[in-house]
Amino acid sequence: MPITQQQLLQILPNAGAKAGVFVSPLNAAMDRHQIVGPKRMAAFIAQIGHESGQLQWVREIWGPTATQRKYEGRADLGNTVAGDGFKYRGRGLLQITGRANYAACGEALGIDLINHPELLEQPQYACLSAAWFWATKGLNTLADAGEFNTITRRINGGLNGLADRLALWAKARGVLA
């Protein structure tokens, strides 16, 4: 069963009008990657809710911070050309980061993200990239098992923002139950 705009707003009240913009592409992306049923949907919505500031940001806010400066030249992200750190900063609802991840995501979605990284800022691709990342990391299985902290680590590399993620997850489970 798809999520409704009303349910999305109950979970992510700060989304405001953005809930209406994202509900259709979000449902299409979740359907495409089998993020279906209350357990999977609740975990996914909680994670994208945290990572996007409740659908407010589809592009990483750039300082640059000390962490962001370290994106430059990171071979593990495929950032091998000067300027890659900024060009391939986090985008989409789960913040796809790095030239290598943009290339893999673009290939999976059938779009040129290397030359047009800004495409991940469009609602359709922001949602599809998040669902693609979720699927490629095996997060449906973890959601089914209730392994929320492991999901957080696979998305974020740690447990940053865990309290907010857990609060959104609890809200999502209540709304989607």
d(CA 70, CA 78): 13
The residues, any chain, with a CB within 8 Å of residue 176's CB and separated by 6 or more, are 3, 7, 11, 38, 41, 42, 45
Q: Which of 51, 60, 107, 118 is catalytic?
A: 51
The closest alpha carbon to 137, from 53, 33, 51, belongs to: 33
Asked if 121 is an active-site residue, the reply is no
What distance in Å separates the CA atoms of residue 177 and residue 169, rounded to the nearest whole number?
12
Torsion sign (Cα): 47, 53, 58, 64? negative
Annotated active-site positions, please? Answer: 51
